[in-house]
Amino acid sequence: MSVEDRIRHGLRANTEQLRPALEHAEEVVMLKVQRRRKARRVRYVGAGALVAAAVAVGAVWLPSALQGGTVTEEPGPAGSEGATPLPREGRIAPGTYVAQFNGGGPATPRAVLEVPSGFQAWGGSAVLEPGDSAGLGLYTATRVMGDPCDRGDLGEDPGPSAADLARALAAQERTRASSPTPVTIGGHDGLYLELTTPEPGAPGGCADDRYDLWRTGAGGPRFVGAGEVQRLWILDVAGHRVVVDVEQSGSEDVVRDVDAMVEAIRIVEQP
Amino acid sequence: MEHPVHPDYEWVFRTTYPAVVRTAFVIVRERGLAEEVAQDAFVRLYERWDGIEPVEQPQAWVHAVAVRMAVRQARRRRTTSVVDLDDRPVDDPVVDVDLHRALGELPPRQRAAVALYYLEDRPVAEVALLLDVSPSTVKQHLHRARARLAVLLGEETEVAGDVG
C-alpha cells in the first residue's frame, strides 16, 4: 500500500464514526451566540459606567481599570453540596452531578442528578447514553413554536406558568400532546405530558423531519426528530419554570436508568 | 432576546458541520476539542449571517475559519503539553492508531493540508484558498507530510509525484 492510500483509508476510518449530534451542537452554538452578545453588552455597559465614574472623579486609573475583569466560580446552591458540576461534554463517571437548565440564567434553579454508569454529558444540561443517544435533558422554555416546521416562526410567549407551557405545547401544530397530568418531582409541583412528533416522512410532517418545539431562555432552539416521544415534566420552582425532558427511546436498560434519574432528581433554588 | 435560526443558516449548519468536525479532528486530534472548534466557527458564521458583510460562500468560509482555529489550537497544545495517545478521551473513534499518532508528529498546517486534500478530496487550489496560502505552498506541505508519514508508518514513499 502506498503512503497516499494509507493516509486516505486511515483518515476515513478514523473519522467515519464521528457523527456529531446536530441538534445538540446547534443548541450549543446558539447558546454561545447568546453568551457572546450578553458579554458584549456587559462590557459596553461596564465600560460606560467606568468612564462615567472616572470623568466624575477625575480619576487617572481608568486605563488599568478597563483591562478585563475577574471571573469567579459561583458556589453551588444549597442542597447541591457534594455534587459535581456536570461537565460540558464527555463521558462521565457515575455519581451525583449538579446541572443547569439549558438557557437558564444565574437565578434559574439547578438540578441535582444521580447519574448511573455509561452516560455522557452534553452542554452541561443533559446526560445521554451515547449508544442510543437517549437520555435526560434540562431546559427552559420561553417561546413555543406554533408550527414546528416553520423555520421563520418566531414562536410566542406562552405565559409564565407550567400550565401555560403545557397548554401551548398541546396547541402546537403537527405534534401530538397527551393530556397534562399533575405531577411532583423533587418536591416541586408541575405537569407531565408526552409530546409526539409525526413519523419520518408522514404527511403533514416537517419535510426535513426536524421539529422546532420551543426556544430556551437563551434563544436556542429545541429541535427533536421525527417519530419521537418526548416525556416532559414541566415544573414551577420558586417563580421559575423549568422542563425535564426525556427522550423516550433506547433499550430497556437505558429507559430504566433514565427513569431512575427522573425519580431521584432534586431541583435546588439558587441562593 | 430571541434570535431565531435563519433557515438558510440552518441548512448550511446541517450540511457542513459534520465535515468541519472531521477536518478539525484530524488537526487537533481530539473529538471534544474538534467539536468545540467547529461550534466556535459556526458562532462566527451566525454572527456574520445578518451582519453588514454577509458571507458569500458560507460553507467555504466556515470551513476556513474552523481550520484556522484548529491550527491555532493544535499549535497551542504542541507548545503547552505533550498528549500521549493513551490519554485521549475514551470516545475518540480512532481506528488507525498508528496514523493518528503519526499525524501528531506533523506541524498543524501540514495536518490541515492533509485533512483537506486526502480526507475531503479537495483540489490543491481549493486547499490553498482555505489555508490562505499559495498552491505551491500546499504542494510543499503535502510533499513533506507524505515523506514524514511514510517514514513513521513504514509505507512506500512515492513522494516524488506531484499533486493537484
pLDDT tens digits, residue range B72-91? Answer: 888 877 654 444 444 444 45
The verdict on a CB contact (< 8 Å) between A7 and B42 is no
Cα–Cα dist A175/A152, whole Å: 18
**Does A221 lie at the interface with B, CB-CB under 8 angstroms?**
yes
Higher pLDDT, A58 or A6: A6
Give the Cα separation of A53 and A47 in Å (integer). 10
The rounded distance, in Å, linking the Cα atoms of B4 and A223 is: 12
- Annotated domain spans of chain B: 7-153
Domain B7-153, architecture per CATH = Up-down Bundle (1.20)
Would you mind telling me the total number of residues written for chain A in this entry?
Answer: 271
In the numeric block, the cell 507530510 is attached to B145
pLDDT at A40 over 50: yes
pLDDT digits 0-9 by tens, B1-27: 234 456 678 788 888 999 999 999 999
Cell of B140: 510543499
Q: How confident is the model at residue B59 (pLDDT cuts 50, 70, 90)?
A: confident
Q: What is the mean pLDDT of chain A?
A: 80
Please answer whether residues A173 and A148 qualify as being in contact, where contact means their C-beta atoms are separated by less than 8 angstroms. yes
Structural domains for chain A: 3-65 (no CATH), 84-268 (3.40.1000)
Chain-wide mean pLDDT for chain B?
80
Cα–Cα distance measured from residue A58 to residue A230, given in angstroms and rounded to the nearest whole number: 59
What's the rounded mean pLDDT across residues A60-87? 49
Q: Indicate the Cα dihedral angle A39, A41, A46, A49, nearest 10°.
A: 180
Q: Which of A123-137, A159-173, A239-253, B9-23 shows the highest mean pLDDT?
A: A159-173
Residue A268's closest CA among A80, A91, A134?
Answer: A80
Q: What is residue A111's predicted lDDT score, i.e. its pLDDT?
A: 95
Amino acid letter, residue A194: E
Reference A3, options B22, B74, B147; nearest CA is: B147
Q: How far apart are CA A206 and CA B132, in angstroms?
A: 39
- Considering only CA atoms, give the Rg of chain A: 22
CB-CB: which of B18, B31, B96 is closest to A13? B96
* B156 min Cα distance to partner chain A (Å): 5
Q: Is residue B50 less than 8 Å (CB to CB) from chain A?
A: no
The single residue listed with the C-alpha cell 439549558 is A102
Phi, psi angle pair for A36, to nearest 5°: -65, -40
In B92-131, the residues whose Cβ lies within 8 Å of chain A are 93-96, 98-100, 114-115, 118-119
pLDDT band of residue B118 (cuts 50, 70, 90) is very high
* Helix, strand, coil share of chain B (percent; to 5): 70, 0, 30
**Cβ–Cβ contacts within 10 Å for residue B159, how many?**
18
Say if the Cβ atoms of B146 and A17 lie within 8 Å: no
Q: Which of A146, A140, A197, A198 is nearest to A171 (CA)?
A: A146
Q: Distance between CA atoms of A204 and A198, rounded to whole angstroms? A: 8
Q: Is the pLDDT of residue B161 over 80?
A: no
Report yes or no: A65 and A50 within 8 Å, Cβ to Cβ.
yes
Q: How many residues does chain B have?
A: 164
Does residue A51 register a pLDDT over 60? no
Are B26 and A11 within 8 A, CB to CB?
Answer: yes
Minimum mean pLDDT among A140-154, A215-229, B47-61: which range?
B47-61
ipTM: 0.81
Neighbours of A134 (CB within 10 A): 20
- All cell numbers assigned to B147: 515523506
| CB atoms B156 and A90 under 8 Å | no
Element (DSSP H or E) covering residue A33: helix A22-57
DSSP-derived 3-state class of residue A168: helix
Per-residue pLDDT for B98 more than 50?
yes
Interchain CB contact of A87 with B (< 8 Å): no
Half-sphere exposure of A69 toward its Cβ, with a 13 Å CA cutoff?
A: 8
Enter the C-alpha cell of residue B48: 456574520
A8 and chain B in contact, CB less than 8 A: yes
Which has the minimum average pLDDT: A145-149, A167-171, B128-132, B157-161? B157-161
Q: Tell me which amino acid residue B148 is.
A: R
Is the minimum CB–CB distance between A4 and chain B shorter than 8 Å? Answer: yes
